[in-house]
Structure 1
Amino acid sequence: MSLKAKTPSESRTEMTDIILPAQTNNHGTIFGGEVMSYVDRIAAITASRHCGKPVVTASFDSLDFLAPIRLGEVIILRATVTWTGRTSMEVMVTIEGENPAKGERRVTGVSFLTMVAVDEQGRPVEVPPIQPETDEEKYQYELAKERAAQRKRRRQKFDF
């Protein structure tokens, strides 16, 4: 069955929240695990929007922390599907921190995850192909092909 291609903008997602004391470490910055939780949730929402199915996280390919987000600041996450396989989708998440008093924003992290669409029994199902439109989407799509090949090589090293 061939599914109709979708554009990244059809599933693009944005999430915003304030960083509270329970989310911070003794340096007054957000715990890395808290950021990972946000990233995993927004990636799942974005992938599910793309395929119209439930999804599971297959791989946290990377999460690069570039700058801290401090207590009382705002975390902004933007996610987009950058590549699709037969049942999998790569999602790129950009993380920003905002000082609401100053109105200043900065990129604090970038992450790539692989999500897999599943049926009611948890078995992988086919996803619509992605059709990048903008120059940036096309650029990320090309880079995603290499990341997908790297994931495949990495998985082949494990013989379970």
Structure 2
Amino acid sequence: MRDPEITLRFLAAPTDAGQSGSVSAGRVLEWIDKAGYAAAARWSGGYTVTAYVGNVRFSRPVEVGDLVEARARVVLTGRTSMHVTVQVSSGPPTTGGLEPATQCLMIFVAVDGEGRPTQVPTFEPRSMEERLLEQWAQRRAEVRAEVQAAMERQTYSDAGTAPREVLRFLAAPTDVNWGGKVHGGIVMRWIDEAAHVLVTRWTQNPRNVAIFTGGVRFYQPLRIGDLVEVEARLLHTGPHSMHVGVHVRSGDPATGELHQTTFCRTVFVVLDDSGRAAEVPRWEPVSEEDRALDEHAVELVRIRQRFGE
């Protein structure tokens, strides 16, 4: 039987740090995607693409110099898909003691040389732990469908007055993955960076960090040389949190015609001098679209609470 699990181990470098001094959430998302890809590629025996990333909760920061362990395991398979859990742990290399920093569920699809979905080996649980993980992944499909339906009901247009930031650039050769497309982890780093710029301008404080990223669905591949547009929009503020919706669009720079590549929601907090979440400026919805998106952010919180997340 194929091994469903793989573990990557490495040191967090100074170049991985964000504005807070700890490793940026975007870099951790890159690591998550790489570990998940390694597990999915080993299981399928070929190239796979990231289709979905959900429920990434950052429980503690990863510090520069930490020994990092990204453990990925296939827990459920469909005909062409693989559900992979990834847990990232870290700690000082001098002690070897690693503490969980984040975990999530990812879905990968195996594809052939023409980019068409191809069948994968069926995963058969071998232990009680693996059976429980398989059942958990099956239950996640219900909340994923409800979250996706809620997201697709929303309208994002110029009628909204919420603060927003847009980053535009070309996808570089250094962003490529093993299949010649832009790596899903790179796209998730762009999402984190755009949200960081928005939150920094809103709060006038660069010491902000993502504590949650969810509903990351990849609609189509992004290619080297594409014009990329990453738009972050403030959806809702709580006493200490800011909920941000991020759209990634891409297309031919010659025509300027862009198509949606990825969408997700992320939640940020600002850190005070003691490292705790500080109060943030309140945003008041103005237009009908503003109010709908504000309620949408609250609805997503309710959905996840109902499922015990």
Query: Scaled by the length of structure 2, what TM-score is found?
Result: 0.47
Quick one: which of 89, 97, 104 aligns to 2:90? 97
C-alpha distance in 1 between matches for 2:145 and 2:126: 26
Q: 1:48 and 2:41 equivalent?
A: yes
Q: 2:141 matched to 1:126?
A: no
Find the structure with the greater CA-based Rg. 2
Aligned equivalent of 1:34: 27
1:81-116 CA distance string (max 9 Å, x none): 011111111100011002112332101111110000
| C-alpha distance after superposition, 1:106-153 (max 9, x if no partner) | 011111100000011101111111111121111110011111233345
Query: Separation in 2 of the partners of 1:109 and 1:79?
Result: 12
What is the letter of the counterpart of residue 13 of structure 2?
L
State whether structure 2 residue 144 is matched by structure 1 residue 151.
Answer: yes
Secondary structure at the aligned position of 2:118 is classed as coil
**Contact kept? 1:62, 1:112, Cα under 8 Å:** yes
SS in 2 for 1:124: coil
Unaligned runs of 5+ in 2: 154-218, 220-309
Mapping for residues 55-70 of structure 1, pairs under 5 Å: 55-70=48-63
Percent identity, aligned pairs only? 28
State which of 16, 21, 25 in structure 1 corresponds to 2:14: 21
* Structure 1 gap segments, 5+ residues each: 1-5
Output the amino acid matched with 1:146.
Answer: R
Deviation track 1:41-99 (CA, whole Å, cap 9, x = no partner) reads: 11111011111121000001221111111111111010000111111111000110021
Task: Output the aligned Cα RMSD.
Answer: 1.9
Matched-pair contact (CA < 8 Å) for 1:76–1:98: no
Specify the alignment match of 2:249 in structure 1: none
Structure 1: distance between partners of 2:149 and 2:20? 40
Q: Which moved more, 1:119-128 or 1:142-151?
A: 142-151
1:11, CA displacement in angstroms? Answer: 2.9
Contact 1:62 1:113 survives alignment (8 Å)? no
Q: How far apart are the structure 2 equivalents of 1:156 and 1:122? A: 26
Task: Tell whether the 8 Å contact from 1:95 to 1:110 is kept in structure 2 after alignment.
Answer: yes
1:21 maps to amino acid: P
Contact 1:83 1:89 in 2 (8 A): yes
1:103 aligned counterpart, secondary structure: coil
How many Å separate the matches in 2 of 1:70 and 1:121? Answer: 41
Distance 2:149 2:141 in 1: 12
User: Secondary structure in 2 aligned to 1:104?
Assistant: coil
Verify the 8 A CA contact 1:65 1:108 in the aligned structure 2: yes
Q: Which structure is richer in relative contact order (CA contacts within 8 A, separation 6 or more)?
A: 1
Q: TM-score, normalised by structure 1?
A: 0.87
Q: Which amino acid aligns with 2:77?
A: T
**Partner of 1:3 in structure 2?**
none
